Amino acid sequence: MNKREIKNNFKNIMVVCVACFSILILVMIFGFIIKESVPAISREGFKLFSGMLWYPTHSEPEYGLAAMFIGSLLITLLTAVIVLPLGYIIAFFMYGYAKPWEKNIIKSSIDLLSGVPSVIIGSFLLVYVAPIFFKLGAWSRENILLGAVGLTILSLPYTASLMEEAMSSVDKSMKEGALALGATKFRAGFSVISKAAMPGLMNAVILTLNRIIGETMVVLMASGGAAIIPMSLWDPVRPLTAAIASEMGEVELGSIHYSALFAAGLVLLTISFILTLISKKISRRSSK
Amino acid sequence: MKRDIVISIIFRVISYAAFAIVIAIFLTFILEGFMYFSPEFFTQFPQMGMTKGGIFPAIIGSVSVLLLSLAVAIPLGVFTGVFLSEYAGKGFFSKIVDTSITALSGVPSIVYGLFGLSIFCITLGFRTSILSGSLTLAIMTLPVISSSVREALQAVPRELRESAYALGAKKSEVVFKVVLTAAKERIITAVLIGGGRVIGETAPILLTGAIFYSTMMPKGILDPVMTLPSHIYYITMAYGQSAQWMAKGASAFLMIFILIIYSTAFYIRRKIGNAHK
């Protein structure tokens, strides 16, 4: 072998090694999160996931993640109800009605908005929106509605651009065929294109849900600190992500509380893993 | 047809309203924060319980975390992207790498924070430090950079590869000398977007690298830092009205910084897009 071949082989092997590294990271993330949550799971058993009470710092501590899990689901659901239809309407507008320059403006602003850090959205909500909500009847500065508004601002650009991509990837002849048969633009977009783009749209829905449920800073700052199940839109809620971020700073390393927070992380990790795999499956099937 | 016009008007109004509101929000924030900009604001430590002084340590912290995490994430991300685009076939191994990257891209940032806390701060003994925070963020950016690099390389025309092979180049020479060079601009875009994400990320850095307040500069990469996002978070949550100006100023500065990074990225991308038409 000459020097050139050695160099070639070396580089090829390097690339494969680095590629292995990404598998290793995924395995290690699962490994470390599971390892750290084992003490809490083995001590509390199934009660850790089904228990409604979360009083980790009481003299008789209770470690139940269920209320916070439900909190996560509720705020995700509330946001989804706002952001999915809104995202679809904007995507539909960009696809069906917008003139090229309008589409250009909306697309550029989507690009720029996708980089806004969530901590800024959280800060904005507390400074400007919370006082307005207070006047409208909120009894707590931080509440589930405020959190949902923040999550909507955060995920709207993402959802709209994913949905628009899904609709644009449908073959143009479909739209033209529908229009030639006398369908209105709305009918063509709604009954023909949306149906053909269904896998892509579903994919957008799943990725949006995944993004909302894993978002930390907005819910940490805007949705409050009570680990209870909210009964009204003005009630505070504490989703899993917020609990981890706010309590990890004060917890004693290696304690059951510490371990229970990792168990909360394990729940989030599992949810996101399943959602991403479903999304991958959908997009792979539709690309065939 | 009449109904179609009505719907088109409704949709247009909703779209415009949604974006006008979101953009108005950020403009307000930037403009209001802009009022607090002064030379002292960028060069001094916070003083008197965050009511005076500036955000100098947070800027230094953010920049050092950004540079260190990109130094780790760029080589890893580019190599993984090269693998996904040029080396991956239909085999089992390629499929697993592909799935891992996709799975990593969906993991919530707070879970990366937990992972970083467990592996870097505790197991490897780096404690709460610039190093732990940067490594955590580097791992978090890996899927972002590698999938964009993969897309960038796949956009390179086939003829280029084939001509290089025809000239007798070996696989790695084709990939590193021809394909990577041809996709240079797109890769810069990918890195800029990754960097924009690193600098705005808060949750993982809260767990692994940030402290509430420091009176000294970090001496090395094993010291904890203040970063802009963590500083904004702490001020908003834990300080009274008299300190909020600093959160607004810091937010405005962070937004402007990220807007510049992103505009550069998208400007480059658009320029290549037009050149190919």
Asked whether the beta carbons of residue A156 and residue B18 sit closer than 8 angstroms, the reply is yes
Q: What is the pLDDT of residue B200?
A: 87
CA dist B267 and A76 (Å) reads: 34
Element at A204 (helix H, strand E): helix A198-214
CA dist A94 and A104 (Å) reads: 9
CA distances from A122 to A34, A177, A283, B199 (A): 30, 46, 32, 16
Q: Are B62 and B251 in contact (CB under 8 A)?
A: no
SS (H, E, C) B139-154: HHHHHHHHHHHHHHHH
For helices B244-276 and B56-82, the axis angle rounded to 10 degrees is 30
Q: Is residue A55 part of a domain?
A: no
Domains identified in chain B, total number: 1
Residue A38 sits in the same domain as residue A104: no
| Chain A residue numbers touching B148 (CB-CB < 8 A) | none
Residue A224 sits in the same domain as residue A185: yes
Q: Is residue B12 part of a domain?
A: no
Residue A14 sits in the same domain as residue A91: no
Residue A42 sits in the same domain as residue A165: no
Quote the radius of gyration of chain B (alpha carbons, Å): 22
Residue A22 sits in the same domain as residue A155: no
CA dist A236 and A134 (Å) reads: 13
CA distances from A98 to A106, A122, A187 (A): 9, 31, 16
Residue A15 sits in the same domain as residue A84: no
Identify the domain containing residue A13 by its residue range: 3-50
Q: Is residue B7 part of a domain?
A: no
Residue A164 sits in the same domain as residue A270: yes
Q: What is the ipTM of this complex?
A: 0.91
**Chain B residues 234-273 with CB within 8 Å of chain A:** 236-237, 244, 247-248, 251, 254-255, 258-259, 261-263, 266
Residue A158 sits in the same domain as residue A220: yes
Q: Is residue B63 part of a domain?
A: yes
Q: Is residue B251 part of a domain?
A: yes
CATH code for the domain of A283: 1.10.3720.10
Q: Helix, strand, coil shares of chain A as percentages rounded to 5? A: 75, 0, 20
For residue A247, which of A239, A237, A258, A235 has the smallest C-alpha distance? A258
Residue A134 sits in the same domain as residue A42: no
> Across the interface, which of A32, A109, A216 has its CB nearest the CB of B108?
A216
Q: Rounded to 5 degrees, what are φ and ψ at A257? A: -60, -50
For residue B115, which of B129, B97, B141, B133 has the smallest C-alpha distance? B133
Q: How many CB pairs lie under 8 A apart between chains A and B?
A: 252
Three-state DSSP class for residue A252: coil
| Chain B residue numbers touching A150 (CB-CB < 8 A) | none
Domains identified in chain A, total number: 2
- DSSP letters along B22-33, please? HHHHHHHHHHHH
Longest distance between any two alpha carbons in chain B, whole Å: 70
> Across the interface, which of A20, A114, A265 has its CB nearest the CB of B111?
A265
Per-residue pLDDT of chain A (288 residues; tens, 9 = 90+): 688 888 888 888 989 898 899 999 999 999 999 999 998 888 888 887 887 778 877 777 888 888 889 989 999 999 999 999 999 999 988 888 888 888 888 888 887 788 888 999 888 888 888 888 888 876 777 888 899 999 999 999 999 999 998 998 888 888 888 888 888 888 888 888 888 888 889 999 999 999 999 998 898 888 877 667 777 778 888 889 988 988 888 888 888 889 999 999 999 999 999 999 999 888 877 664
**Chain B residues 130-159 with CB within 8 Å of chain A:** 139, 142-143, 146
For residue B99, which of A287, A26, A282, A285 has the smallest C-alpha distance? A26
Residue in chain A nearest B209 by alpha carbon: A249
Asked whether the beta carbons of residue A25 and residue B201 sit closer than 8 angstroms, the reply is no
Residue A215 sits in the same domain as residue A262: yes
Per-residue pLDDT of chain B (277 residues; tens, 9 = 90+): 677 888 888 888 888 888 788 788 878 888 888 888 888 778 777 776 666 777 888 888 899 999 999 999 999 999 999 999 988 878 888 889 999 999 999 999 999 999 999 998 888 888 888 899 999 999 999 999 999 999 899 988 889 889 999 998 888 888 888 899 888 888 998 899 899 988 988 888 888 877 776 666 777 777 888 888 988 888 888 777 777 888 888 999 999 999 899 889 888 888 877 665 4
> Across the interface, which of A8, A23, A28 has its CB nearest the CB of B119?
A28
Identify the domain containing residue B58 by its residue range: 35-276
Q: Is residue B18 part of a domain?
A: no
CATH code for the domain of B245: 1.10.3720.10
Q: Is residue B128 part of a domain?
A: yes
Three-state DSSP class for residue A140: coil
Asked whether the beta carbons of residue B117 and residue A248 sit closer than 8 angstroms, the reply is yes
For helices A198-214 and A256-287, the axis angle rounded to 10 degrees is 170
Q: Are B187 and B180 in contact (CB under 8 A)?
A: yes
Q: Is residue B209 part of a domain?
A: yes
**Chain B residues 33-62 with CB within 8 Å of chain A:** none
Q: What is the pLDDT of residue B276?
A: 57
- Which residues make Cβ contacts (< 8 Å) with residue B174, sequence separation at least 6? B161, B164, B165
Residue A78 sits in the same domain as residue A126: yes
| Chain B residue numbers touching A272 (CB-CB < 8 A) | 106-108, 111
Q: What is the pLDDT of residue A269?
A: 95
Q: b or e along A177-209 (b: 16 or more beta carbons within 10 Å of the residue's beta carbon)?
A: ebeeeebbbbbbbbebbbebbebbbbbbbbbbb
In sequence order, the β-bridge partners of residue B225 are: B210
Asked whether the beta carbons of residue A186 and residue B4 sit closer than 8 angstroms, the reply is yes
Q: Is residue B26 part of a domain?
A: no
Q: Any idea of the CA torsion for A48, B140, B233, A267, to the nearest 10 degrees?
A: -10
For residue A156, which of A200, A121, A184 has the smallest C-alpha distance? A121
Q: Is residue A57 part of a domain?
A: no
- Tens digit of each residue's pLDDT (9 = 90 or more) over A134-168: 888 767 778 888 999 999 999 999 999 999 989 98
What A273-276 contacts at long range (C-beta under 8 Å, 24+ apart), as own/partner pairs, is A273/B103, A273/B106, A273/B107, A275/A206, A275/A207, A275/A209, A275/A210, A275/B106, A276/A207, A276/A210, A276/B102, A276/B103, A276/B105, A276/B106
CA B121 to chain centre: 22
Closest CA–CA distance from residue A117 to any residue of chain B (Å): 5
Q: Is residue A226 part of a domain?
A: yes
Residue A90 sits in the same domain as residue A147: yes
